[in-house]
Chains A and B, each alone.
Chain A
Amino acid sequence: MPNYNWPPMESRRVMGKRVTRLDGIQKASGKAKYNSDVRPAGTIHGVILHSPHAHARIKSVDTSAAEKLEGVTAVRVVAPAGTEIQWAGAEIATVAARTEEIAHDAVRLIKVGYEVLPHLVREDDLSKAGSRAKPAGEAVTGDPDAAFKQADVVHEGVYGIPVITHCCLEPHGQTVAWNGDTVEYFPSTQNVSGIGGDLAKGLQLAAGKVHVHMDNVGGGFGSKFASDLWGLEAAKLSKASGGKPVKMYLDRNPEQTIAGVRPSVYAKIKLAAKKDGTFTAWDSTSWMTGGFAGGGLNADLLPYVYRQVPNRRINHTAVSTNNGAQRAWRAPNHPQVSYITCSALDDLAAKLNMDPLEFFIKNANLTAKPDVYTSQLKKAAELIDWKNQWHPRGDKRAGVIKRGLGLAVGMWGGAGHASQCRTNIHPDGTVEVELGSQDLGTGTRTVIVQVAAESLGLPMNAITLKIGDNSLPVSGASGGSTTVGGVSSSTRISNLNALEKLFEVVAPGLGVPPDQLEAVDGKVQVKGTPAKSLTWKAACQKLGVRTISEMGANDQRNPRGLNTGGVSGVHMADVSVDIETGVVKINKVVAVNDCGLVINPKTAEGQVYGGVIMGICSALMEERVADEGTGRVLNADMEFYKLAGIADIGEIVVHMDITPEHDKRGVVGLGEPATIPTTAAIANACANAIGVRVPTLPLNAKNVLNALNGRRLA
């Protein structure tokens, strides 16, 4: 069996290098194809009719006029009479037509009778939730009541972080052609290997009947794993239209309304410390919504990172509301619990008159990794010049612009997912590496080819990579920051298995046993002896007519030290707040993350920049505004659902711990940990600047000015 270990850090030639992503030019020149660009010959268009009501019973659906419209090929009722609709935007019917314009006209001709029922679409005021609130029961460790009695300092606060949307730029959808026997499926997905089976189940077909292909996806962030109702409907519309391919993507309004959200979290928190800053007790009553199903928040994560506080009481309630359902959102649970925890801890430090940096370091023994957090806190502090720039809460300098610093912590898993890879070495020396994976823009293509080039001793351009098709070896969905660990490990194992076969063929000619050979610099040579070698091409010629084709798999139970999970991170923010207008401006964000063995520092940094920017968006502007009057989302567009623009992000400093010590842990995912602490760090910087806590995010003018005027949450 080959030695699959990663080559030593110092001898790597391709891995660890700042390689420019392989598909960069394709994407920057507009040539990269997304499935929303794909229109096979004969493509027709699907459009969905959505419910305008948040809660209603369908009394009737009359599609006759729509069916008669010239150019319409199929009309399907999704929610027949009697169906109870539980959120605005729910699908009522679908139409396929020759053009999208005609399909829209047809949808407008469908007459739906609704019996409108009472709805609840807001959860920020728990007292209004009534029977829609479902408490999860209480969890207690230690003796919180006694601890609060004995405490020197107790702080109580209310914190809230609202529902936000994924806002993928490429909306959810697909093109599907179903001729009744086989299905050609072009979805926008994070799950190339798995989504075909998902659709097949819905269509009651054998999984093998659905062929999936996707070259690129325009964002997913956790919301694009399943085939969804629109996948099924597009397939059925196709069948009803004689097997013509149906292209059906959500318009922006439903994209923002029903294609996934991150649940909110609100919490009343009481916490205590000794005079010297020792954190002793935590008591939180939190609530949230993830839509009609209520949704889940793992309240057991509280207090986040500092979970080993000796005394804690946790109460959590999920509220069922008439809104579109939650989906996984880049680091499910973590940004929200980071926000409520780090805000409360920061407020406690302020009450202690203690520098929060000192407070977070002092209590690092309550985290799972005291040394890592301590060193990351110190590193981030150095990079943001905490020592000179931090001041006690409330910038006392004259003027209306107040400046402040804040910090927050995060943690994540990120071990590799189950992944299989096939390596083909052909007699002409060409090499194919094949995985049913996907590149979300994280740089997956590039890291796979770096691993293969490293493992096979070839230049990167000698490797042909095939991903994005479910006829390739099964590789996991891209979620949980598990992709890089999974695909790099399976690629490494598969490459070395194939190489072993090549060595068996070549060894006799070089007069040594196969295990004495190595592949370096485009040659197969006797270990350490370049003089006794064959060029790669000459070595492969010895295969005659045979192609080597070898599999390799990342086994999650035994990743062989190639990948691992468990990372930490500390982010710090420097903000300025105009106390007359309430506008918060980012000056700088420092991100310190550990991430094991880094295959490509350039794209890894990109992940951190992106994570930080998402954290900035959530801190400053993002909020799905549900209207209790109409039951609808008021800002289901991109004008009033705000994202940060290029001028809004300040300076971002990324520090990754690329050290032999971290490297030997193997590959760990980074995409999610990179976004977790940013939001809380900004919120704490804002409190440090203006001297009061803005209890509910986002830090928009309304919330900041309300806090300055002494108005509190609920």
Chain B
Amino acid sequence: MSSKKEPGVQAPKKGFSRRGFLHGVGITSGALGAGILEQEAAAAPPVNVTGLGEAPVTLTINGKPVKVNVEPRTTLLDAMRDRLEITGAKRVCDRGTCGACTVIIGGKVMYSCTVLAIDAQGKDIQTIEGLSNGNKMHPIIPAFANNDGLQCGYCTSGFVMASKGFLDRNPNPTYEQVKAGLGGNLCRCGTYVGIRKAVLEAAKELKGGKNA
């Protein structure tokens, strides 16, 4: 029922693993610099080559450059969660369906589980961690809390990022637009009633802020 939104990489077909695909053809697909390939060839004895090994990349997350070692197949989500301790985005379906891993890349709302870390180089990556700084926070955050738009909270970072991206594009949303605009995220606890209210309230708040 949830419509997909702007996935960075097309969702894999059933029975066809994204990682297996990259593992199989990624090396010849031109996605890698020759330097990395050479390093790889030199580093690992052939019998053990089943992955392609790690290489350093620089990602720009919330305005700051961060260095991280990733494999070509490592998703942006896994790079953040398992290597950078940036854990707001959650890994739930890991296949571009649920939205728990939502980030904003170059202004576009994306599922970070369907973006490879190496492909995210040179792009402006905004995560939930970038929406608050001490007591200062984007109005969507208190709006979620005040309207009880969360329970267990595991879908919440994704919903908050999707809502932020939605409000960036739709500063005056109607109720119906909110329902359509957040169709790419799923919540198991059933917090949609609060989320609808939260997004409308944050829209008002944002406008108030601008006019002031």
Q: What is the bound-complex CA distance between A644 and B95, given in angstroms?
A: 18
Q: Does A525 contact B (CB under 8 A)?
A: no
Nearest chain-B residue to A642 (Cβ)?
B1
A640 in contact with B14 (CB, 8 Å): yes
A28 in contact with B160 (CB, 8 Å): yes
A69 in contact with B48 (CB, 8 Å): yes
Q: What is the bound-complex CA distance between A217 and B153, given in angstroms?
A: 8
Scan residues 672-708 of chain A and give those whose CB is less than 8 A from a CB of chain B. none
Which of the residues A99, A217, A252 comes within 8 Å of B95, measured between beta carbons?
A: A252
Q: Does B38 contact A (CB under 8 A)?
A: no
Scan residues 177-205 of chain B and give those whose CB is less than 8 A from a CB of chain A. 178-180, 182-183, 185-196
Q: Does A638 contact B (CB under 8 A)?
A: yes
Scan residues 1-30 of chain B and give those whose CB is less than 8 A from a CB of chain A. 1-3, 11, 14, 19
Scan residues 72-123 of chain B and give those whose CB is less than 8 A from a CB of chain A. 73-74, 78, 81-82, 85, 87-95, 97-98, 100
Scan residues 129-183 of chain A and give those whose CB is less than 8 A from a CB of chain B. 167-171
Q: Mark B125-165, 1 if CB is under 8 A from A, else 0.
A: 00111011000010011101110111111111100100000
A638 in contact with B97 (CB, 8 Å): yes
Q: What is the CB-to-nearest-CB distance from B178 to chain A, in angstroms, rounded to a whole number?
A: 8
Nearest chain-A residue to B198 (Cβ)?
A28
Q: Does A557 contact B (CB under 8 A)?
A: no
Q: Does B71 contact A (CB under 8 A)?
A: yes
B153 in contact with A216 (CB, 8 Å): yes
Q: Does B44 contact A (CB under 8 A)?
A: yes
B82 in contact with A45 (CB, 8 Å): yes
Kindly list chain B residues whose C-beta atoms are within 8 Å of the C-beta of A613.
Answer: 190, 192
Kindly list chain A residues whose C-beta atoms are within 8 Å of the C-beta of B137.
Answer: 25, 29
B186 in contact with A36 (CB, 8 Å): no
Residue in A170, A614, A637, A645 whose Cβ sees the most chain B Cβ within 10 Å: A645
Q: Mark A500-522, 1 if CB is under 8 A from B, else 0.
A: 00000000000000000000000
B90 in contact with A169 (CB, 8 Å): yes
Q: Does B50 contact A (CB under 8 A)?
A: yes
Q: Does A625 contact B (CB under 8 A)?
A: no
Residue in B128, B182, B189 whose Cβ sees the most chain A Cβ within 10 Å: B189
A39 in contact with B82 (CB, 8 Å): yes
Q: What is the CB-to-nearest-CB distance from B132 to chain A, in angstroms, rounded to a whole number?
A: 5
Residue in A45, A108, A440, A613 whose Cβ sees the most chain B Cβ within 10 Å: A613
Q: Does B51 contact A (CB under 8 A)?
A: yes
B131 in contact with A29 (CB, 8 Å): yes
A646 in contact with B182 (CB, 8 Å): yes
Q: What is the bound-complex CA distance between A70 and B40, given in angstroms?
A: 13
Q: What is the bound-complex CA distance between A135 and B47, given in angstroms?
A: 55
A610 in contact with B190 (CB, 8 Å): yes
A20 and B153 in contact (CB under 8 A), knowing A28-B160, A251-B94? no
Q: Does A263 contact B (CB under 8 A)?
A: no
Q: Mark A635-666, 1 if CB is under 8 A from B, else 0.
A: 00111101111111100100000000000000
Q: What is the CB-to-nearest-CB distance from B19 to chain A, in angstroms, rounded to a whole number?
A: 7
Q: What is the bound-complex CA distance between A251 and B92, given in angstroms?
A: 8
B141 in contact with A646 (CB, 8 Å): no
A646 in contact with B97 (CB, 8 Å): no
B185 in contact with A646 (CB, 8 Å): yes
B93 in contact with A638 (CB, 8 Å): yes
Q: What is the CB-to-nearest-CB distance from A381 to chain B, in angstroms, rounded to a whole number?
A: 22
Kindly list chain A residues whose C-beta atoms are within 8 Å of the C-beta of B131.
Answer: 29-30
Q: What is the CB-to-nearest-CB distance from A18 to chain B, in angstroms, rounded to a whole number?
A: 9
Q: What is the CB-to-nearest-CB distance from A697 to chain B, in angstroms, rounded to a whole number?
A: 16
Q: What is the bound-complex CA distance between A28 and B143, given in angstroms?
A: 9
Kindly list chain A residues whose C-beta atoms are within 8 Å of the C-beta of B51.
Answer: 101-102, 105
Kindly list chain B residues whose C-beta atoms are within 8 Å of the C-beta of A105.
Answer: 50-51
The main secondary structure of chain B at its interface with chain A is loop
Q: What is the CB-to-nearest-CB distance from A400 to chain B, in angstroms, rounded to a whole number?
A: 20
Q: Does A530 contact B (CB under 8 A)?
A: no
Q: Does A37 contact B (CB under 8 A)?
A: yes
B128 in contact with A30 (CB, 8 Å): yes
A169 and B1 in contact (CB under 8 A), knowing A99-B82, A609-B190, A652-B193? no
Nearest chain-B residue to A218 (Cβ)?
B154
Q: What is the CB-to-nearest-CB distance from B82 to chain A, in angstroms, rounded to a whole number?
A: 6
Q: What is the bound-complex CA distance between A29 and B153, given in angstroms?
A: 10
Nearest chain-A residue to B50 (Cβ)?
A105
A25 and B142 in contact (CB under 8 A), knowing A169-B152, A646-B183? yes
Nearest chain-B residue to A640 (Cβ)?
B14
Scan residues 598-638 of chain A and give those whose CB is less than 8 A from a CB of chain B. 602-603, 605-606, 609-614, 621, 637-638
Nearest chain-B residue to A247 (Cβ)?
B82
Nearest chain-B residue to A643 (Cβ)?
B186
Q: What is the bound-complex CA distance between A713 and B179, given in angstroms?
A: 35
Which of the residues B50, B127, B187 comes within 8 Å of A69, measured between beta carbons?
A: B50
Kindly list chain B residues whose C-beta atoms are within 8 Å of the C-beta of A441.
Answer: 150-153, 189
A170 and B141 in contact (CB under 8 A), knowing A29-B132, A610-B189? no
Q: What is the CB-to-nearest-CB distance from A461 to chain B, in angstroms, rounded to a whole number?
A: 15
Q: What is the bound-complex CA distance between A252 and B188, given in angstroms?
A: 14
Q: Does A219 contact B (CB under 8 A)?
A: yes
Q: Does A326 contact B (CB under 8 A)?
A: no
Q: Does A442 contact B (CB under 8 A)?
A: yes
A24 and B146 in contact (CB under 8 A), knowing A169-B98, A610-B191, A642-B1? yes
Q: Does A397 contact B (CB under 8 A)?
A: no
Q: Does A61 contact B (CB under 8 A)?
A: no
Q: What is the bound-complex CA distance between A99 and B79, given in angstroms?
A: 11
Q: What is the bound-complex CA distance between A639 and B15, given in angstroms?
A: 13
Kindly list chain B residues whose C-beta atoms are within 8 Å of the C-beta of A639.
Answer: 11, 93, 95, 97
Q: Does A23 contact B (CB under 8 A)?
A: yes
Q: What is the CB-to-nearest-CB distance from A645 to chain B, in angstroms, rounded to a whole number?
A: 4
Nearest chain-B residue to A603 (Cβ)?
B148
Kindly list chain B residues whose C-beta atoms are within 8 Å of the C-beta of A109.
Answer: 50
Kindly list chain A residues whose C-beta atoms are within 8 Å of the C-beta of B95.
Answer: 252, 637-639
Q: Does A240 contact B (CB under 8 A)?
A: no
Q: Provide 29 A-B residue pairs closer than 8 Å at the C-beta atoms, listed in order of the A residue.
A: A20-B146, A21-B150, A29-B131, A30-B88, A30-B156, A31-B129, A36-B91, A37-B87, A39-B85, A45-B82, A69-B48, A169-B92, A169-B152, A218-B152, A218-B154, A219-B154, A441-B153, A442-B151, A602-B148, A614-B190, A637-B95, A639-B93, A643-B2, A643-B186, A645-B2, A646-B187, A647-B1, A647-B179, A649-B190
Give 3 nearest A-B pairs by CB, closest first: A30-B88, A24-B145, A218-B154
Chain A contact residues, CB within 8 Å of chain B = 20-21, 23-25, 27-34, 36-37, 39, 45, 68-70, 99-102, 104-105, 108-109, 167-171, 216-219, 221, 251-252, 440-443, 602-603, 605-606, 609-614, 621, 637-640, 642-649, 652
15 more A-B residue pairs beyond the given contacts A28-B156, A219-B188, with a C-beta to C-beta distance below 8 A: A25-B137, A27-B156, A31-B88, A32-B153, A105-B51, A169-B154, A217-B152, A219-B189, A609-B193, A610-B189, A613-B192, A614-B190, A639-B95, A643-B2, A645-B182
